[in-house]
Structure 1
Amino acid sequence: MRISTLSIYSNATSQLNTLQNALARTQTQLSTQRRILTPADDPVASARALEVSQSKEMNAQFATNRASARSSLITVEGTLQNAGNLLQDIQELAVKAGNASMLPKDRELLATELDGRLADLLGVANSTDGAGGYLFSGYMATTQPFTPTPGGADYQGDQGQRQLQVAASRRMPMSASGSAIFENNRTGNGTFQTQAASTNTGAAVISSGSVVDRNLAEAGRDYKLSFEVSGTPAVTTYSVVDTSTGTEVAVPGMTTQPYQEGKAITFGGLSFDIKGVPANGDSFTVEPSQKQSVFKTVSDLVAALRAPSDGSGGKAALTNRLSTALDNLQQAHDNVLTVHASIGAHMKELDYLDGAGDDLDIQYTATLSDLQDLDMVKAISDFSQHQLTLQAAQMSFKTMSGMSLFNYL
């Protein structure tokens, strides 16, 4: 069979190009340490590597989001700590104000100090995040959440709770609305509230009470307890009316009940006692707990300290108002502590999510390594083989292209 010179050169050139391309590809693999240089090298592995790379990048973004969330939660935690300390100080001042030996000027000094505490508490509620946004205004980050009023403060934010995606299936709140922290406070003991009428002239003081039957207590009834003093010697009796229905609550067979100082008064699943001597016509109310702003509670406390407290009736009125304020302050403090605890729980969850995210990152890196990384031993062996093959082909082509009968003449 005869082979033309053109065919020899064409075949040799094609083979040399193929060998050079193979050598160049192996050299590129060695320099990049990547097995897949183009999707065509391994379409399935390339598609899988793209998916894993996207997941890895999303996991890295979640880690960044968690860092941002942690920074925000740390700021909120510090602010709530300050709010809790202020409420603790206010409670201590309220207890101090109950000292019977205090003079009106002493209570005025306490009221002035409480005015400062109220301003401090309002400043804490209007704290910012360092970037110009308010912590406790909900979604309305640029709106100051609380504005002072004569009776406390008005909330200007909304009920929203800003959240951040911190994992594939977890959105975490970065704060809480100011309404939930500073206004969502139950009055009294959290179930019902006892109060003395403002027209009372006697020296009776009512306790906060407790729940003895929660099913009855949660019925949400309003009661009024009225005293009557009659006869010689004076006999004090009382009657209880369910103002929700207008019916009288009485012991069977008795329209009125004798008053005994300090004896528990129980009805409707509620129990409390009254100490001191009530005057004829004095009354007390028992109502379901309502939500009240902590700013109103402190404002009412200041007003109570500045109100006249002359005589036994005035001192009893002050004691009743201080008792009411202390109950409400305790509920407000407990609410702040509850929100504070939830912030701590979120930060703990972020720690767990960070650990899970680190594990995922290791898994994604290992998967990408399996899909893309180069087997260096095999690549170096292939490179040496391709180099040797190319050199042999070049030498053989040189020999063949130099063959001529003229060399033998």
Structure 2
Amino acid sequence: MQLKDRNYQIQGVDVLAIAEEFGLPAYVYDADKIIEKIGLLRSSFTGVNLKIKYAAKALTNVSILKLMRQQGVEMDSVSVNEARMGMLAGFEPGQIMFTPSGVAFDEIREAVDLGLQLNVDSLPLLEWVGQTYGGAVPISIRINPHIAEGGNIKISTGHADSKFGISILQRPEIRAVVEKYHMSVAGLHIHTGSDFKNANAFLRGAEVLFELASDYPDLKFIDFGSGFKVAYKAGDHITDIVDLGRKVSETFQAFCQQYGRELELWFEPGKFLVSECGHLLVRTNIVKENPTRTFVAIDSGLNHLIRPMMYDAYHDIKNVSNPLGNEKTYTVVGYICETDTFATDRPLPDVRPGDVLSFENAGAYGFSMSSNYNARLRPAEVLVYDGNPYLIRQRETFEDLMRGQVDVPILNSEIIEQQV
């Protein structure tokens, strides 16, 4: 978002005009920023057969999925419903990686019937797939490399105690099951978490997968997942994608030569592609001055953006209505009936009731983790594409809250008087 003539703009569109047209709160996404990130990733990996699989869990709106497909990006899903959304957006089933974690076998069967690329992350699932399909269904195997790097422990997935993947220490057991059922292993997968600052975690993971690859002569791809760190505030250290691309490309090329043929190199970025594109626009309800601090209470809460409360995540906040106001210190809170603090003692331009604020870097795991807690409605979503804002999700209504609830007639009787 840029400051121009005192107005915040996205692709030349005044953010306050977006707020006026679509109402608040609203998630607003900048398509240009997504396209920019895709281009950076592609240009950073040279001399390899790169495939980008968008991790749809970060932001699953069908219009965003269509934008990804339009840009030649494929898809990574963690549920069959995500995959179905992808197919509605135009993806072919074979373009969708399906990486479940502990789901029912019925969902696995459904994924196979749809034609998704199945990624197996447990020995029991590997055994079941072998018993059920033998070598008829090409699979990928998700490995837990026992690499503890990255950010918040809640999003670290490659350490020894993580629920994700099959432990590299179980390599003999994996091979035994594959050989027992003559299974077809098309790929090896690793995803060790998020917020990696440099290439080291990927290179360490590469060593694990490249060594394991000797067990499987018919591989088509190696999948490194993702975990690229993005900046949430000025001065944040980010993943150097150019450096990462150069080092991983060189390592992968050397591996392919040793393996005997060229494989595809897959990455599954989610946050990296959509985090910076997103802005959660909210309105200030009241400014409440207490003896110890001044609160800004807004028309949103952890039901719309849970990351600050769940991960202690930092989101920069802009006062869109008064960007040049005198700076004061505020604690920004939501309207939920428990602590839902977005920012504590944050310096902001003078905030007044009615001012529009923007939470930056809100594209990833914002709307996709939202809820109807406190019977609150989820916000609208807007995509700015080619200089024009488009509504891509309607704001919820009370009827949406009640949809699916069933009226039990016996409960419609008169109040039962209590005997004292």
TM-score by length of 2: 0.23
Q: TM-score by structure 1 length?
A: 0.23
